[in-house]
A and B are shown apart, each in its own frame.
Chain A
């Protein structure tokens, strides 16, 4: 089954404790992205990647890192999480430009 898998689905952590949210897709898609969703702000792009070793900042990249060492994986790293990073995070992948995006199930992160 074609899918984008994120882990974990829920995470509560403390300020400053490094964490990684994993994202994997099995569709051989070139493009992958991370979004955060907050009430009243919609989906805002954090980072995106057009291929292995090619990443670029989205609209809200501060406090986040990503890597794309393999085509299927695109982890999101929070080196020192802060409470303002409490949010619902979505990973998405798509074949190329002007094609539909497939979203993961989402990761609800709470930083206390």
Chain B
């Protein structure tokens, strides 16, 4: 079953912040985050393992609450290059199941 992402779409002005949420109905071992630019393959951002560790990647960070089976991706001081579709992927077992995605557009 696919994890649920929210919001489905968001428009930001450069420099603004955004949060993308991901929740699953299953217990999780890990949560992945990927970004896909139009016409390209998804690219890995980060993975969070059980333990609630928060990870960071430049101005993009994420948290994972395995008790609530939820993860959030935080984009701070957004740049034009952050535009794309963000997918969370959850691992309840050995496979990775992706959400529908959140389309993020950063405008000048």
- Which residues of A approach B to under 8 Å, CB–CB? 31, 33, 35, 40-45, 48, 50, 56, 58-59, 90, 97-106
Contacts and interface: CB of A to CB of B under 8 A. Distances in A.
Contacts of B89: 101
A97 B29 CA distance: 9
B14 interface: no
B71 to A, nearest CB: 14
B91 A43 contact: no
B100 A33 contact: no
A99 B95 contact: no
Interface residues of B, number: 23
Contacts of A45: 95-98
A42 B47 contact: no
Contacts of B29: 97-98
Interface of B: 2, 29-30, 32, 34, 40-44, 47, 49, 87, 89, 91, 94-101
Given A42-B2, A42-B87, A101-B32, A33 B95 contact: yes
B13 to A, nearest CB: 26
A101 B91 CA distance: 12
Given A33-B95, A33-B96, A35-B98, A100 B44 contact: yes
Nearest to B88: A42
Contact of B98 (A40, A43, A102, A105): A43
A59 B47 CA distance: 22
Nearest to A98: B30
Contact of B42 (A41, A90, A98): A90
B100 A100 contact: no
A43 B94 CA distance: 16
A56 B95 CA distance: 10
Given A48-B95, A50-B94, A98-B49, A43 B87 contact: yes
A100 B97 contact: no
A90 B41 contact: yes
Given A42-B2, A42-B87, A101 B41 contact: no
A59 B98 CA distance: 11
